[in-house]
A and B are shown apart, each in its own frame.
Chain A
Amino acid sequence: MVLSAEESGRLAGLLSGHADRVTARWTESVVASLRGRLSQAELRRQLQELHASMIAAAEGGLVDLDDDQGAELRALLAELSRGRARQGFSATETAVSVYALKDVLLGLLDTGDAHALRDFVAYSRLIDQMGLFTFESYVRTRESLIADQAEQLLELSTPVVKLWEGVVAVPLVGTLDSARAQVVMERLLQTLVDTGSPYAIIDITGVPAVDTQVAQHILKTVVAARLMGADCIISGIRPQIAQTIVALGIEFGDIATKASLADALRHVLRLTGVETARRNHRREA
C-alpha cells in the first residue's frame, strides 16, 4: 500500500480539478526530453489517456498499483513502454514520461502547507511505482525483441544448398555454439534424407575460430551423417585455422578435409565420376 484511500481521493480531485493545466505542463516537460522524435500531438494524446486513467483509478480508491483498480492503468503503461521500446527510445526517456508528473503535481500544490507536502510524498510513491512498472515492461519488450532476433538469426544463418546431383553443402558463417551446431546438424541430416544425397560438404570458411568444442560439433555431425549412410567432406579451412587445429591436437581421422569448396566438390565428383566411368567402361566392353 503506497497511499491511503483519502490521499487517493485527494489525488483524483487534484488531477481532475486542473486537468488542462496538468496535461499541458506534463506534455511540455516530456516533449523536451524526447527531442522531437515523437510529435507533440501524439504525446499529448498518450498523456491525456494516462491522465484520464489515473483519475479513474484514483476515484476507484486506488491504494497500490498492483490492485485491481490499477489494472487499466497498468495496461496503459505497458502499452506506452512497449511502443517506446519498439520506436527505439532509451529506458530513461521512457521512464521520464511518467516521472515528469511529479514536477507537475509539485507545481500545483501549496508548498507551504505541511499536509500538502505529506500528500505529495504519497503521490510520489505511486508515481515511482508507475515508473518502475514502465521500466519493467520496457525491458520485457526489449528482451522479447532480442529473443525474436536471435531466433531469426538462427533461421537465417544455416542454409543447406544443393551443389550438384547428390551433393549438398552447408556454408557455416559465424561462431558455432552448441545451439547453432544442433540446428545445423538436424537440418543437414534432414536434407540428406529429403534429397537422398550421399555426399555433404561442410564449408567452414565463415567460421572465425575453431576450438575443440566447434571441432567436436563438426565431428559429431560427420559421424551422424555416416551412420545414415552419407559421407561428409570438410572444406574452407584457412591457414590459421589449420595451424590452430594442429596446435590443439584435434584429429579429423579419416574424414576428408579440403582447402576450398571447389576442391571439395572436385573430390566428390571424382568419387562419383570414377564409379560412372567404370560402369560405362563395363557396358562398352
Chain B
Amino acid sequence: MDRVPILKIGDVLLVSIQVDMSDQTALQLQDDLAERIVATGCHGVIIDITALDIVDSFVGRMLSTIASISKVLDAETVVVGMRPAVAITLVELGLSLNGIRTALNVERGMELIAAARYDEGGYGPDGDDADTETTAVP
C-alpha cells in the first residue's frame, strides 16, 4: 500500500501527495499526520498537491478532514500548489474547499503560516523573540 511521507521543516510538517489517493491511503495519512503533529508539536501543516491532476469531492473531503483534525491539535493547514486546471474544475463543479487556506507554492505557504502564528502571538520558531519584544515595548 502506498504511504504518503510526512517531512518536518522547522515548525511545519510538509505533506507532498504524489500518488492517487485511495480510501486506505487517505485514512493512513490522517492517522500518521495526527500522530506526527502530537509527537513533534508542530503548529503548521502544508499539503502540496502540485502533482495531483484531479481533485474530486473525495480528495476535497480528505483535505477538509485533515484541516479539521489539525485545527483540533492547534496546527494551521495550508493547501499549496493547486494547478489552474484543477481550480477551474473545482469552480465548475461548485466545490469550494471551505475552511481551507491556500497558497500558490510551498514558500508562500510557509510565509502564511509564519504570519498566522505571529498574528496569534504564539510560540513560533522565533516565539521567544516575540515574547521578549512584547515585554520590551511599553
Contacts and interface: CB of A to CB of B under 8 A. Distances in A.
B115 interface: yes
A41 interface: no
B133 A228 contact: no
Nearest to B129: A282
Interface stretch (A51-59, A184-192, A244-252): A184-192
Given A275-B115, A285-B133, A229 B108 contact: yes
Interface in B107-137: 107-109, 112, 115, 133, 136-137
Contact of B84 (A190, A197, A223, A275): A190
Given A198-B104, A229-B82, A285 B137 contact: yes
B105 A196 contact: yes
B80 interface: yes
Contact of A229 (B88, B102, B115, B133): B102
Interface in A223-238: 223-230
A192 B83 CA distance: 10
A193 interface: yes
Contacts of A224: 84, 87-88, 90-91
A193 B91 CA distance: 17
Contact of B97 (A189, A227, A230): A227
A233 B88 CA distance: 18
Q: Which of A220, A227, A275 has the most CB of B within 10 A?
A: A227
B7 to A, nearest CB: 20
A215 to B, nearest CB: 14
A217 to B, nearest CB: 11
A230 B104 CA distance: 7
Closest 9 CB pairs of A and B: A189-B84, A229-B102, A229-B103, A224-B87, A227-B87, A224-B91, A228-B82, A229-B104, A228-B87
17 contacts: A185-B88, A186-B88, A196-B108, A224-B87, A224-B88, A225-B87, A226-B102, A227-B90, A227-B97, A228-B84, A228-B102, A229-B80, A229-B101, A229-B104, A229-B109, A230-B104, A282-B133
Given A185-B88, A227-B82, A227-B90, 7 more contacts: A192-B84, A198-B104, A220-B88, A226-B102, A228-B87, A228-B102, A229-B82
